[in-house]
């Protein structure tokens, strides 16, 4: 008999802005001459680190971006997105030297392919312990072939820096793209600011003399990568748990969470509230069957989906998980080792995780978050369903969702 826990948590959370969107907006701001007011900011470490690197210190709900400029020396502790975006931008600033110091864990993640690409474009890049020294140059080539099997952020960074390519640039992809939906998000934001990227099969074309159009105001939608955790708890709540504000036309890759669980039979629906004039996504207690999920679509969802798979009625298969070994931790190992500790039947078959429904209630156990924010938040769901299951550390959640624990506690 499958385990079906129930939680008394209920309510609606108003979430801060998407860090994926805001980091793209920060890079775009480097090309804007006019002041732009951004509402629904994020206090996540990833956004804070990138903001400080371009001279934005204030982290409030509404932030004014004005005369942003990349500092000649700055530190990025863990945000791979900030590092990759700003390394590309620095590489395209002719004659300017930029020194980027990075954290130990970030230094262990793959960046060599991007560095090789920027050297091909004309930049000089050297590593000195955990310092990356970049001497920028005008791009020397108008066509690149890129291996996109490591990170979509390489392509997004190049696209976002479109104004640096006066003669345009053609990017040809020679491998399956990890997280292509994030490239789609990049292209959608660029279009909103006046630059249209042409996509033909496995090729992206940056038009010559591309320029961003200024916007005086920009309101960021809620971070759906954060929303998946309270929504997951909502699937065990009779009264339900909701998150807002949600855009009906969002391009955030993790919105696939809603369709995936809905198709599996979960009660998760959009509701429009006239009183607040906001759209709320609400999840309620429901049975759902196992699902098949391609991790390349939205790899950050794999930890939380692995937890939800434990309470499905049939087996779940998550494939193409190999890339997860290169995230903030080896997430494949972290998921398998910890889920086995609570009595789950989970196996790695080549590049697929196969997870069967949980049939025994866990004993008292402490799970290891590997200091990885996605693992910590996913395992915290188990803690809320089974108080005897604890997580050794939640400090890593500040990377993406600083208020995670207090938000969950507010649902009591």
pLDDT tens readout for residues 176-196: 777 788 999 999 999 999 999
Output the average pLDDT for the chain. Answer: 92
Q: CA angle, 151 as apex, 196 and 79 as ends, to 5°?
A: 95
Comparing 20-24, 51-55, 260-264, 274-278, the range with the smallest average pLDDT is 274-278
**Could you say which DSSP state residue 7 is in?**
B
Residue 306's φ and ψ, nearest 5 degrees, are -65, -35
User: Cα 10 to the chain's mean position, in Å?
Assistant: 25
And the tokens for 120?
A: 């091909």
SS3 262: helix
pLDDT top residue among 152 and 378: 378
The partner residues of 281 in beta bridges, in order of sequence, read 243, 270
149: confidence class by pLDDT, cuts 50, 70, 90: low
Q: Report the side by side order of strands in the sheet with 292-294.
A: 292-294, 316-319, 352-355, 346-349
Contact between residue 149 and residue 178 where contact means Cβ atoms under 8 Å apart:
yes
Instruction: Look at residue 72 and tell me whether its pLDDT is greater than 90.
Output: yes
What is the structure's pLDDT at 354? 97
Half-sphere exposure for 236 (CA within 13 Å, toward CB): 22
Highest mean pLDDT among 108-112, 241-245, 287-291: 287-291
Q: How do the residues of the chain divide into helix, strand and coil, expressed in percent and rounded to 5?
A: 35, 25, 45
CA distance 185 to 378: 24
Q: What is the pLDDT of residue 328?
A: 67
Query: Distance of alpha carbon 4 from its chain centroid, rounded?
Result: 29
Q: What does each C-alpha distance from 233 to 242, 327, 367, 385, 397 come to in angstroms?
A: 10, 24, 18, 8, 17
DSSP H/E element including 50: helix 45-53
Task: Report the C-alpha gap between 173 and 238 in whole angstroms.
Answer: 47
Q: For residues 330-351, b (16+ Cβ closer than 10 Å) or e, as one string?
A: ebbebbbebbeebebebeeeee
Look at 23-37, 90-104, 248-262, 363-377 and tell me which has the smallest mean pLDDT: 248-262
Q: Rounded to whole angstroms, what are the CA distances from 323 to 156, 250, 354?
A: 18, 25, 16
CA 157, 159, 162, 164 torsion-angle sign:
positive
Q: Label residue 49 by pLDDT band (50, 70, 90).
A: very high
Q: Which two tokens stand for residue 256?
A: 């696939």
- Plot region of 281 (φ>0 → left; ψ -120 to 50 → alpha; else → beta): beta
Q: Cα–Cα distance between 323 and 351 in angstroms, integer?
A: 9
Judged against a pLDDT cut of 80, whether residue 275 lies above it is answered with no
Give the span between the Cα atoms of 77 and 371, in whole angstroms: 13
383-405: average pLDDT: 95
pLDDT of residue 105: 85
How would residue 197 be classed by pLDDT, with cut points 50, 70 and 90? very high
Residue 1 has pLDDT above 60, yes or no: no
pLDDT grade, residue 98 (50/70/90)?
very high
Does residue 277 register a pLDDT over 90? no
pLDDT at 258: 93
Q: What is the mean pLDDT of residues 150-169?
A: 92
Alpha-carbon distance of 48 to 73, in angstroms, equals 16
Q: Is the pLDDT of residue 329 over 70?
A: yes
The number of residues making up the chain comes to 412
Give the model confidence (pLDDT) of 377-393 as tens digits: 999 999 999 999 999 99
Instruction: Output the pLDDT for position 62.
Output: 87
pLDDT digits (tens, 9 = 90+) for 21-35: 999 999 999 999 999
Classify 316 as helix, strand or coil.
strand
Nearest residue to 96 via CA among 157, 145, 150, 138:
138
């Amino acid at each position: 008999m499958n385990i079906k826990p129930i939680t008394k948590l209920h309510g609606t959370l108003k979430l801060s802005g998407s860090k994926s969107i805001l980091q793209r907006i920060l890079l775009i701001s480097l090309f804007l001459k006019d002041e732009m007011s951004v509402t629904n900011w994020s206090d996540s470490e990833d956004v804070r680190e990138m903001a400080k690197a371009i001279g934005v210190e204030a982290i409030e709900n509404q932030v004014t971006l004005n005369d942003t400029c990349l500092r000649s020396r700055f530190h990025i502790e863990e945000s791979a997105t900030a590092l990759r975006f700003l390394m590309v931008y620095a590489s395209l600033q002719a004659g300017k030297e930029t020194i980027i110091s990075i954290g130990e864990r970030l230094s262990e993640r793959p960046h060599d392919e991007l560095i090789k690409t920027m050297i091909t474009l004309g930049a000089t890049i050297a590593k000195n312990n955990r310092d990356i020294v970049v001497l920028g140059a005008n791009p020397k080539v108008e066509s690149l072939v890129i291996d996109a099997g490591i990170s979509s952020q390489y392509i997004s960074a190049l696209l976002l820096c479109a104004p640096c390519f006066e003669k345009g640039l053609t990017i040809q992809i020679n491998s399956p793209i990890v997280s292509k939906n994030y490239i789609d998000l990049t292209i959608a934001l660029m279009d909103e600011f006046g630059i249209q990227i042409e996509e033909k099969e496995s090729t992206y074309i940056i038009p010559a003399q591309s320029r961003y159009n200024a916007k005086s105001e920009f309101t960021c939608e809620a971070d759906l990568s954060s929303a998946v955790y309270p929504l997951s708890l909502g699937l065990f709540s009779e009264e339900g748990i909701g998150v807002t504000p949600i855009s009906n036309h969002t391009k955030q890759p993790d919105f696939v969470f809603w369709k995936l669980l809905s198709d599996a039979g979960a009660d998760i629906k959009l509701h429009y509230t006239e009183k607040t004039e906001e759209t709320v996504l609400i999840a309620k207690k429901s049975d759902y069957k196992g699902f098949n999920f391609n991790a390349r679509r939205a790899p950050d969802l794999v930890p939380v989906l692995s937890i939800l798979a434990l309470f499905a009625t049939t087996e779940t298969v998550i494939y193409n998980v190999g890339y997860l070994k290169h995230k903030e931790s080896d997430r494949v190992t972290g998921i398998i080792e910890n889920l086995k500790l609570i009595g789950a039947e989970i196996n790695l078959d080549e590049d697929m995780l196969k997870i069967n429904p949980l049939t025994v209630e866990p004993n008292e156990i402490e799970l290891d978050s590997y200091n990885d924010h996605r693992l910590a938040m996913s395992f915290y769901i188990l803690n809320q369903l089974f108080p005897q299951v604890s997580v050794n550390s939640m400090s890593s959640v500040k990377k993406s969702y600083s208020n995670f624990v207090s938000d969950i506690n507010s649902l009591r």
